[in-house]
Amino acid sequence: MVTIYDIAEHAGYSIATVSKALNNKKVSEKARRKIMEAVEELHYTPNSSARTLATNKSWMIGVVFGENLGIGIAHPFFSQVIEGFKKHVELYNYDLLFVSRHMGLQQETYKHLLHRGVDGIVIIQSHGEDEISQVDHMIPTVYIDRPTDEPGTVYSDNHAGSRLAVNHFVENGHTKIAHIRGNQTTFAGIERAKGFEKAMKEQGLTVRDEYLVDGGFYSQAGGREAMIRLLSLKDRPTAVYVAGDEMAIAAMKVTKEWGLRVPEDISFIGFDDIKIAQHVDPALTTIRQDKELIGQKAAIILLDKINSIDPTQEVDKKMVPVSLIKRDSVHRLA
Partner DNA sequence: TTGTATGCGTTATCAT
Partner DNA sequence: ATGATAACGCATACAA
Where does this chain bind its own copies (CB under 8 A)?
45-50, 52-53, 58, 60, 71-74, 76, 79-80, 82-83, 86-87, 89-90, 93-101, 111, 114-117, 249, 275-276, 279-281
Using the minimum distance from each CB to DNA, give the nearer residue, 50 or 105: 50
Does position 15 interact with DNA (CB under 7 A)? The reply is yes
Q: Output the smallest distance, CB 168 to its own copies, in A.
A: 22
Does position 54 interact with DNA (CB under 7 A)? The reply is yes
Q: Output the smallest distance, CB 228 to its own copies, in A.
A: 19
Using the minimum distance from each CB to DNA, give the nearer residue, 13 or 143: 13
Of 14, 167, 172, 175, which one interacts with DNA (CB under 7 A)? 14
Positive/negative CA dihedral, 205, 209, 214, 220:
negative
Burial of residue 214 (CB within 10 Å: 0-12, 13-18, 19+) is middle
Q: Output the smallest distance, CB 24 to DNA, in A.
A: 10
Residue count at the site for DNA (CB under 7 A)?
A: 29
Which residues, in sequence order, are bridge partners of residue 156?
320
Using the minimum distance from each CB to its own copies, give the nearer residue, 110 or 169: 110
Give the CA distances from residue 170 to residues 35, 45, 161, 268, in Å, rounded to whole numbers and listed in that order.
Answer: 71, 63, 14, 13
What is the edge-to-edge ordering of all strands in the sheet holding 322-325?
Answer: 212-214, 177-181, 239-242, 267-272, 285-289, 322-325
Of 33, 37, 41, 47, which one interacts with DNA (CB under 7 A)? 47
CA of residue 258 relative to chain centroid, distance: 34
Does position 4 interact with DNA (CB under 7 A)? The reply is yes
Q: Indicate which of its own copies, DNA, none lies near residue 328 (CB less than 5 to 8 Å, by partner kind).
A: none
Does position 36 interact with DNA (CB under 7 A)? The reply is no
Which residues, in sequence order, are bridge partners of residue 177?
239
Does position 175 interact with DNA (CB under 7 A)? The reply is no
Q: What are phi and psi of 289, to 5 degrees?
A: -95, 135
Does position 46 interact with DNA (CB under 7 A)? The reply is yes
Does position 13 interact with DNA (CB under 7 A)? The reply is yes
Using the minimum distance from each CB to DNA, give the nearer residue, 119 or 191: 119
Count Cβ neighbours within 10 Å for each residue of 60-82 and write b for 16 or more, e otherwise.
bbbbbbbbbbeeeeebbbbbbbb
Does position 160 interact with DNA (CB under 7 A)? The reply is no
Q: E strand or H helix at 5, and its extent?
A: helix 4-11
Does position 33 interact with DNA (CB under 7 A)? The reply is no
Q: Output the smallest distance, CB 52 to DNA, in A.
A: 8
Of 33, 37, 41, 50, which one interacts with DNA (CB under 7 A)? 50
Provide the CB-side half-sphere exposure for 134 (13 A, CA).
9
3-state secondary structure 193-253: HHHHHHHHHHCCCCCCHHHEEECCCCCHHHHHHHHHHHHCCCCCCCEEEECCHHHHHHHHH
Does position 16 interact with DNA (CB under 7 A)? The reply is yes
Q: Output the smallest distance, CB 276 to its own copies, in A.
A: 5
Q: E strand or H helix at 289, and its extent?
A: strand 285-289
Of 9, 10, 31, 313, which one interacts with DNA (CB under 7 A)? 31
Measure the CA–CA gap between 279 and 44, rounded to whole angstroms: 50
Measure the CA–CA gap between 187 and 248, rounded to whole angstroms: 19
Does position 111 interact with DNA (CB under 7 A)? The reply is no
Does position 22 interact with DNA (CB under 7 A)? The reply is yes
Q: Output the smallest distance, CB 194 to its own copies, in A.
A: 29
Q: How many CB atoms lie within 10 A of CB 133?
A: 9
User: What does the binding site for DNA look like in residue numbers (CB under 7 A)?
Assistant: 1, 3-5, 12-17, 19-20, 22-23, 26-28, 30-31, 44-47, 50-51, 53-56
